[in-house]
Structure 1
Amino acid sequence: MSAFRRFFVGIASVLLLLLANPGAAQDAEAPIQKLLQDHGEAIAKSSRTTIGPAIQALATSGLPAAQIVLEKWQAKEMWRNEDTGLFVYAEEVDRDTIKIFDFADGAEIGDSPDKDFAQLKPNSGIRGLIGAALVQFQLSDADPTNRMTALTAIERDAEPSHLAALRSSIENESDPSIRSRKERLEQLLTIRFGEIDEERIAAIEGFRGDLGVDVRAALNPLVATRIDVVEGGIPEDSPEIARILKAGSDALPVPAAYDLLVGANLVPPRISREDRRNALIQNIVDGSVAGIRVADLNSEATRDMAYAELARTGAVRAAATESELEDRMAGFTFVERYVAASPPVVEAALSTLGAIDTKVGLNQAADLALDGLSLASIYFLAAIGLAITFGVMGVINMAHGEFIMMGAYTGYVVQQIIPDYTVSILVALPLAFMVTFAAGVAMERLVIRWLYHRPLETLLATFGISIALQQIAKNIFGTQARPLTSPAWLDGALVINDVVSISYIRIAIFFLALLFLAFYLFLMNRTRIGLETRAVVQNPRMAASMGINPDRINMLTFGLGSGIAGVAGVTIGLYAKVTSEMGQDYIVQSFMTVVVGGVGNIWGTLLGATMVGFLQKGIEWLNPSNTLAAQTYMILFIILFIQFRPKGIIALKGRAAEV
């Protein structure tokens, strides 16, 4: 088809459309269409390098139709008439026909063959630019969800143009939470894109002490520095100078400092010893280099002299040898200069960052204390049963960790039967107590009762039982870790701020530890079995003469300690892996907790758990890259502590003190 014929068909198509919809006759005269025509070539070309002005013109035009143009363009629904150059948006009717609409008023123009129009298909980069431009329209959208989406888009990829749009949308914002978020974001954008130093400084000072990560992300670029070279000296109080650097320091090694001078064309480039050696070899003439005999090139000084002479004659390029670097740098000063903002803004940013760092440090200490308290509650739960069996009865039970493991597996089995996690945990806690209580009673009746006052044999026997219980667990459940899922209301964490947080599971374990402490105190001080247990501990023969059965009390006491270990296993399994070896992760800490606190005293166990938990977290904080080393240091400290206080923090009174 000839060019003339195509032009005629195009004009005829437009005339038919105008006849079908007289309102479309104003299409070419509409302000939005004129704006599109002004940038028509750039829009049609759709190159990311040249499309920016067109998108910016639409976004800032103030025309009501600008938003629909950007939305249709982004969705690849904008078309351009091949002959007239007019822009429309369209819907596909069938394979060869489209229904076109006017951008000015959204009126339907009619159906047309799609061969007369070119569909604009912006790539992902251009769609991203369009999306950024649409944000300002979404900020005032009637749907709160769209406004929140726009704020999220700005937070992710802010641009200077967003600041004015954000400011204009704040006044009419009716939702308090969205308004608060807009105001905070406006202050952050003012820090980044504000044109007046005073407003930037006011925004910076408004965040003094704020712990938000977004604040530090906005402030840190303001204090960015660049290392510059200055000939001669400079005033030390220059506001744009962060500090003066000395070549050869850790911040500026000599080679790096010299490279800066080379980059500024202030000195010749440096040459390595290997390159200098090769250059000298290549210029050997009759056994000499630059008039110096090869045999005399036996020192750095003579080799440097020979190379300098070659450079003077033009045989090699002029360069500084390694021995000359420091001498050539004399007379130059290296400074670290603030380059991202004016000195007043930098000063305000440094002051605010200093206040933030101080507050971050205090909150990190609080977060570390919470971690230590959380770990202490876990160790207390794991050790409270051992405090009964080892502290009260004097039995070294190396299988205590396996009772913890049995409790965790009990919780897992219950969850396979009861799918409701809340109900399953409520069932698992008492069931784990009963299972491990029964196991403890059986162990005491069958093994422990024959080994009282024989600690070595007790240790070996319980160690063998520990290995046997681990193998039984592997045979039943396999070696793969099993999940013990916490209820939904224990998911997540209590977030105090961007630095301090603690998981709800650990909070629950902390309160469970307090509950067991209260249970133990009530049992030992307010019940008959507690009275009989204390009597047997202090003087078993006298207790027997008073009608108390020491064997029965020993059995129940050992069962009680084992049962509490089972409950601890359920709670620990909610956040730790449930495997046949999980008990081994807590047996050492449990013994340390009991020994450090004072054997046989519940308050000592509590203090011991607190000490061990805080000590471990403190050492891990000092040495975060090596957890095993941290545990080793902790054990060494405990050994040293016991040397000075062998009976622990609170000394025991009664039978176990003699063990």
Structure 2
Amino acid sequence: MLRPFRLLLAGLLVCLATASAIAQPAPTPIEELLLQNSELIDKSSRRTIEPAIEALRDSDLPGAETVLTRWRDRELWRRKSDGRFFLVAPGADRDTYVLRHVVTDEELGTAGRRDVDQIKPNSGIQGLINSALVQFQLTNPDPAARRASLDAISRNPSADQLPILREALQEEAEPGIKATMTRLERLLTIRFDEDIATRVSAIESLAGDLSVEARATLNPLLSTTRKASREELEDANVARELSPGSDEFSYDAAYDFLVGENLAPKTINAAAKDAALTANIADGSVAGIPITTLNTREARDAAYVKLAADGAVSPALTEAERTALVDEFNFYDVYAENPAVTEAVLGTIGAINFRVHLNEFADLALDALSLASIYFLAAIGLAITFGVMGVINMAHGEFIMMGAYTGYVVQQFVPDRTLSIVVALPLAFIITFAAGVLLERLVIRWLYHRPLETLLATFGVSIALQQLAKNIFGTQARPLTAPGWLDGALVFNDVVAISYIRIAIFVLAVVFFLLLLFVLNRTRLGLEVRAVRQNPRMASSMGIDRERVNMLTFGLGSGIAGIAGVAIGLFAQVTSEIGQAYIVQSFMTVVVGGVGNVWGTLAGATLIGFLQKGIEWFNPSNTLAAQTYMIVFIIIFIQFRPRGIVALKGRAAEA
């Protein structure tokens, strides 16, 4: 009775197995390839996995890219029973997985959680897979994918990518991507191509390339190895010959190098000699010499020489012997590369360095122009008040500070950064204009033609305004955030760039320069200001209210300082001392340019900006020294041109 039951059960199992085989189709070609390399994939070793990755990459099978991507992303699983690879998804219960095809995602049945293992490539294998994916990504129809692939190659270049890149280059149609691809192909050719002529051609093609990548590719080709030889090196690519005893290569350094190359015995110092003597003491003596006599360095050295003669210790060379041994050798620094490659690299780097210096000069000029625009904005208000009224306003920096704090306060109520700046600029002008008028009415008007008292009074006002700002805003720096569209920089190449904030300040300076020219030359107020500046008494006799002109002029100069404060606050820390950083340069700008002249202020700001940047370029590590040199230069300058670059003429100059 039991036997028929067993036969029935066996038949059912055979039917189930047959049904399972029918339910799961035979492996596709891509699955067969995975099965053929299953042992390598299971090991997941960076040292042995490359054949499996290359087999998939070079198979030309549909879905190869998908499989590599899913392998890299740890989405592949392997069934233990037959070694087939699948994707898995949660099943009906937590102990079951749904098996899917590695390419098509077609459902292929289920398996228990313990019946499959996940393939987990480490970071090294993932890097190799990424390199293999380059072949597919370089021909991807999506331009963004091709650009991403080029970025990946540039970050992790290898020799096997070079033929793939060249093949893709022939098919690339988009000009921008093709230019990037061409340049990357040159860089890889320089590093990995075996043909010398091809490498030399690629090296020479980089003569106009200012990128960091180009220099990073070329500079390692000039690496050298130090060698020592008793004979002249005839076939080596010698970079330079070293002379022992020179400042860069002393005799000690030469001997140490020979020791490191096993061409000379190690140096035995005094401590080692004394230790050897101690180890060889026998019956109160060393090599027959009583230890009581070894109380000098010369005696101990002589005892060591005797020990060496007896073969008990290694012989020690004297200084003369060491020098003579060094003199037997010629020392060289030898290039690792072929002479033709080295010559091409030296020529190309020379051309690149020349262009780099030119572009560094252009970058320095842009920085100087940017700094000049800042100084112009900070000084133009002072030039107007000083030129028309003859007032030395030591509180001018505090009007800059008030403008910066106005911009900060506006941003607390107007979250939109662009709108807040649009609101802050006119508001800063209004507030500082009113503050300037108030200062002129309460203090300055009583001190005309008394320069010392005016200087002391405005200095006191400066201290008071700084303390008031500290009481209101505290001593901590406050942020004045620029709009998002001012983030970043305008990049011309890897050497020349200028931030968008600097460009915006330069544009603002140009706008105010043109606006001031219009006000001074095309408006009634400008006519009255020029009249008062040229001949105050005659202007009064012609019915011009000098007090009103002085008040409005001081207010105008203060208002412009407030606008300068908003601009400066966009890149500098807003504190109560922000204006003090520019007051000295503002006075220097006015004095050098010419008092009371807009064109003179522009010329003075340009000279100060370029001078400061030039001095900082020669001495970049010491900005205080740069400031000192600049002041000395200006003192010398005004000795020869006391009225400034653009001096006033006629009665205005005599006033």
Structure 2: stretches of 5+ with no match in the other structure: 1-11
Q: Deviations over 1:197-252 (max 9, x none)?
A: 222222222221111112112222222222122223335xx661111122344544
Distance 1:657-1:327 versus aligned 2 partners, 3 A rule: farther
Distance 1:480-1:289 versus aligned 2 partners, 3 A rule: farther
Aligned to 2:110: 111
User: Which amino acid counterpart does residue 460 of structure 2 have in structure 1?
Assistant: G
Identity, % of aligned pairs?
60
Distance 1:649-1:176 versus aligned 2 partners, 3 A rule: closer
Does residue 330 (structure 1) correspond to residue 333 (structure 2)? The answer is no
Distance 1:305-1:397 versus aligned 2 partners, 3 A rule: farther
Equivalent residue in structure 2 for 1:317, among 314, 318, 327? 314
Alignment of 1:449-464 (within 5 A): 449-464=445-460
User: Which amino acid counterpart does residue 501 of structure 1 have in structure 2?
Assistant: A
Q: CA deviation at 1:277?
A: 5.2
Quote the Cα distance in structure 1 between the aligned partners of 2:80 and 2:74.
Answer: 17
User: Which amino acid counterpart does residue 98 of structure 1 have in structure 2?
Assistant: Y
Aligned to 1:207: 206
| Higher mean C-alpha displacement, 272-281 vs 41-50 | 272-281
- What is the TM-score with the length of structure 2 in the denominator? 0.90
Residue pair 1:141, 1:147 contacting (<8 A) in 2 also: yes
Aligned to 2:52: 54
Residue pair 1:400, 1:562 contacting (<8 A) in 2 also: yes
Quote the Cα distance in structure 1 between the aligned partners of 2:511 and 2:500.
Answer: 16
Aligned to 1:470: 466
User: Which amino acid counterpart does residue 333 of structure 1 have in structure 2?
Assistant: N
Aligned to 1:493: 489
**Secondary structure, counterpart of 2:21 in structure 1:** helix
Distance 1:609-1:314 versus aligned 2 partners, 3 A rule: farther
**Secondary structure, counterpart of 1:625 in structure 2:** coil
Does residue 130 (structure 1) correspond to residue 133 (structure 2)? The answer is no
Quote the Cα distance in structure 2 between the aligned partners of 1:279 and 1:212.
Answer: 59
Does residue 269 (structure 1) correspond to residue 269 (structure 2)? The answer is no
Aligned to 2:78: 80
Aligned to 1:246: 243
Q: CA deviation at 1:396?
A: 1.4
Quote the Cα distance in structure 2 between the aligned partners of 1:442 and 1:264.
Answer: 83
Residue pair 1:400, 1:565 contacting (<8 A) in 2 also: yes
Q: CA deviation at 1:515?
A: 2.4
Q: CA deviation at 1:400?
A: 0.5
Residue pair 1:273, 1:321 contacting (<8 A) in 2 also: no
Aligned to 1:397: 393
RMSD: 3.0
Quote the Cα distance in structure 1 between the aligned partners of 2:141 and 2:613.
Answer: 50
Aligned to 2:522: 526
User: Which amino acid counterpart does residue 59 of structure 2 have in structure 1?
Assistant: S
**Secondary structure, counterpart of 1:76 in structure 2:** coil
Q: CA deviation at 1:468?
A: 0.8
Alignment of 1:26-105 (within 5 A): 27=27, 31-93=29-91, 94-102=93-101
Distance 1:313-1:456 versus aligned 2 partners, 3 A rule: farther
Residue pair 2:286, 2:303 contacting (<8 A) in 1 also: no
Structure 1: stretches of 5+ with no match in the other structure: 1-8
Q: Deviations over 1:55-88 (max 9, x none)?
A: 2333233333432332232222323332433434
**Secondary structure, counterpart of 2:620 in structure 1:** coil
**Secondary structure, counterpart of 1:171 in structure 2:** helix
Quote the Cα distance in structure 2 between the aligned partners of 1:248 and 1:655.
Answer: 73
Q: CA deviation at 1:495?
A: 1.2
Aligned to 2:9: none
**Secondary structure, counterpart of 1:494 in structure 2:** strand
**Secondary structure, counterpart of 2:490 in structure 1:** strand
User: Which amino acid counterpart does residue 505 of structure 1 have in structure 2?
Assistant: I
User: Which amino acid counterpart does residue 66 of structure 2 have in structure 1?
Assistant: I
Residue pair 1:290, 1:309 contacting (<8 A) in 2 also: no
Q: Deviations over 1:93-152 (max 9, x none)?
A: 243323334558765432222433332222222222222222222222233332222222
Distance 1:105-1:611 versus aligned 2 partners, 3 A rule: closer
Q: CA deviation at 1:628?
A: 2.6
Distance 1:351-1:11 versus aligned 2 partners, 3 A rule: farther
Residue pair 1:17, 1:109 contacting (<8 A) in 2 also: no
Residue pair 1:272, 1:322 contacting (<8 A) in 2 also: no
**Secondary structure, counterpart of 2:160 in structure 1:** helix
Distance 1:632-1:15 versus aligned 2 partners, 3 A rule: farther
Quote the Cα distance in structure 2 between the aligned partners of 1:63 and 1:265.
Answer: 56
- What is the TM-score with the length of structure 1 in the denominator? 0.89
Q: Deviations over 1:534-560 (max 9, x none)?
A: 332333233322322322222222112
Residue pair 2:379, 2:589 contacting (<8 A) in 1 also: yes
Residue pair 1:82, 1:116 contacting (<8 A) in 2 also: yes
Distance 1:277-1:483 versus aligned 2 partners, 3 A rule: same
